[in-house]
Amino acid sequence: MPTNVIVYIKEGCPYCINAEGLLKSRNIKYKRIVYSNLTDRQKNNVMKKIGSNYIYYPKILVNDVFIGGYDDLKKLI
């Protein structure tokens, strides 16, 4: 079971909604962060962790390691 999960979301994103629903259905605690609310510096730090080529949402980290998006989360749990 994953621990220390961070989900960067975009408001209204259906994959973000699905990812949060999946985590809730499995009783996995996670931190939800609206990416657009971050400062430019915070966004740069996130992009350093996940890679600047990943433009999709959600952006999910488990134990500070980028795992991908919703489909990747489904495979993991």
Q: Shortest CA distance to 52 belongs to which of 73, 62, 66?
A: 66
CATH number of the domain bearing residue 52: 3.40.30.10
Q: Where are the beta strands (DSSP E) in 1-77?
A: 5-9, 30-34, 59-62, 65-68
| Spatial CB neighbours of 28, under 8 Å, sequence gap ≥ 6 | 1, 2, 5, 77
* Residue 31 structural domain: 5-76
pLDDT tens figures, 24-71? 999 999 999 999 999 999 999 999 989 878 999 999 999 999 999 999
Q: How many domains does the chain have?
A: 1
Using 50, 70 and 90 to split pLDDT, how confident is the model at 1?
Answer: low
